[in-house]
Amino acid sequence: MIGAVIVKAAESLLYIRERIGNNDHPMIDRMLDYLGLPHHLSWCLAFCLWCVHMAVHPMPYPKIARCATFWERVQADPWKYDTFDAEDIAWGIEKATPGTIMIFSHSKVAGKNNWNGHAAMVTAQVNPRKFATIEGNTNAAGSREGDGVYQKTRTPKQGNMLLEGFVRVRGII
């Protein structure tokens, strides 16, 4: 299954730690280059998309590193992407399979699509409210502006981050 290959790609990047805490590592530069972006930007979604890129050709997701814009774009194309929220999982309608991307919002203002966010790669659904992930631009405490790639356990509400939902490519993941 392709989700398992995406997770293996994420696992292969667990060694990444920023050099001086400025989103600076040669592999982070490569992820941002792939998306056509300058270095030193937040890179959590770039990490997720890089993992998919390493497993699936051609890249099925839009090359966007801003969580709000990415989330809006994938929701607008239901023929290509499955998007669903935590309630769909809680009710047993959906399951967050390995390789599914979680999108969190931070500093969201109602009715505006200019929120900051965070992205995580699901490695397993532990239960309907808990998910094992591998994430870039986080830290051991779970910050959305961290210093490397870490394995985490996430819930729909993480401190000041709120889960917007999950996305996967229809028919692939």
Best CATH choice for the domain 2-169 from the list 1.20.58, 1.10.3470, 3.20.20, 3.90.1720: 3.90.1720
The pTM of the full predicted model, rounded to 2 decimals, is 0.95
Beta strands in 45-169 (DSSP E): 81-84, 101-106, 116-127, 130-138, 148-154, 157-158, 161-169
Do 104 and 117 touch, CB atoms closer than 8 A?
yes
**In whole angstroms, what is the distance from residue 4 CA to residue 88 CA?**
22
Q: Where are the domains of the chain?
A: 2-169
**Residue 29, amino acid:** D
Give, for 67, the enclosing helix (H) or strand (E).
helix 67-75
User: What pLDDT tens digit does each residue of the chain (173 aa) get?
Assistant: 899 999 999 999 999 999 998 999 999 999 999 999 999 999 999 999 999 999 999 999 999 999 999 999 999 999 999 999 999 999 999 999 999 999 999 877 666 677 889 999 999 999 999 999 999 999 988 888 899 999 999 999 877 889 999 999 998 88
